[in-house]
Structure 1
Amino acid sequence: MISRLTDLDFSAAVDDLAGILHACVHDGASIGFVLPFTEGDARNYWMQNVRPGLKSGALELFVLHNNGRIQGTVQLIPATMPNQPHRADVAKLLVHPNARRRGFGRALMEALFQRTAELERTMLVLDTRSTDPSRLLYLDLGFQIAGEIPNYCRNPFETRLEPTTYMYKELSA
């Protein structure tokens, strides 16, 4: 089951969200964090970076429940500039490593697409490490590659830099 998390639901969900983020970083996801990365660091991310945006309406947070726990999440961040009323960013598509290969990432993205249409946004933008397996999912979902920036992000395990691919998807108006 996929739902949009509200600020009222956030406190009950933050432990699951922190667990997912922590597990994904330790599994090699390039989502802005590097090791060492603790569950406390993960919890702080959700509390300090996501909850204020959720509370203010600056972002929407989708969660996927399976077997009574949150197993995946993704964020929709509508652009706020006057020249971008048609655009939104996709951020932090995360599926717990123990719950992958079940279509959860795809289901989260489909729910995000539906909400994007409800908001009358017609352009989605995201970035992903060029070697990340999620890139294949995004391509399969109809995202197009806008370009690649070399040495954009640090590998979560090593100090080497890696390229990031910027992608977009145009939705029907």
Structure 2
Amino acid sequence: MTGFQPDPPVFLLSSAEVRTSVGALGSLLKACVEDGAGIGFILPISQEKAEAFWQKQVAALEDGRAFLMVARDRNTIAGVVMLALAPQDNGGHRAEVAKLMVHPDHRRKGIARQLMTTIDGLALSLDRWLLVLDTVTGDRAEKLYPTCGYQKCGIIPDYAYGSHGALDATTVFFKDLR
């Protein structure tokens, strides 16, 4: 990485720090899914399954395919967002923003916006200027992304099963950081 240092309370977590924070990260993921977040999981979700997700991310973090930003409120992980670099030879300019989560107890404090601003800086430090993401259509996050500079590309119907088991559409966004 090129020396990017996020401002507190948002931190870039190393793979070693993720390993030691798996329990807290799992609790965050579980709380968000139980609150209805469309982040790839269906209810019910166990703490073990949530922790296993984060354990699987360690390899990508270790080899630089992905990065994890964490917002802390005191000693609690209040929110996270991932940046996954496009692996294709022709995609060296782009990355996917994924797994933006803010614990339900920490919402409405500007944490999601701060995470999104910080991930922009990280992407630029990695020479990744085109960011893409998707979110459940109608979800509260869908309203956040345009305020962070993202442009809506379109909607894909019946894209994935939501946390409560019904098919949801997804809205796709992009942002050009140049």
Same fold (TM over 0.5): yes
CA distance in structure 2 between the partners assigned to 1:90 and 1:58 by the alignment: 12
CA-CA distance at 1:12 after TM superposition: 2.3
Partner of 1:37: 45
- Which residue of 97, 100, 103 maps to 2:104? 97
Residue 159 (structure 2) aligns with: 152
Instruction: State the Cα deviation string for residues 51-100 of structure 1 (Å, max 9, x = none).
Output: 11112211000001111111110000111211111100000001100000
Q: d(CA) in 2 for partners of 1:148 and 1:24?
A: 23
Identity %: 38
Q: Indicate which of 25, 30, 34 corresponds to 1:26.
A: 34
Structure 1 stretches of 4+ moved >4 Å = none
User: Aligned equivalents of 2:35 and 2:118: distance in 1?
Assistant: 25
Tell me the CA shift for residue 142 of structure 1. 1.0
| Equivalent residues, number | 170
Q: Secondary structure at the match of 2:89?
A: coil
TM, length-normalised to structure 2 = 0.93
Give the one of 135, 143, 166 matched to 1:136.
143
Q: Structure 1 length normalisation: TM-score? A: 0.95
Unmatched segments (≥5 aa) in structure 2: 1-8
* 1:1-173 paired onto structure 2 within 5 Å: 1-48=9-56, 50-157=57-164, 159-172=165-178
- Cα deviation for residue 155 of structure 1 reads 2.2
Distance between the aligned counterparts of 2:16 and 2:28, measured in 1? 20
Q: Distance in 2 between matches of 1:60 and 1:72?
A: 14
Structure 1 Cα separation of the partners of residues 11 and 163 of structure 2: 30
AA at the equivalent of 2:126: L
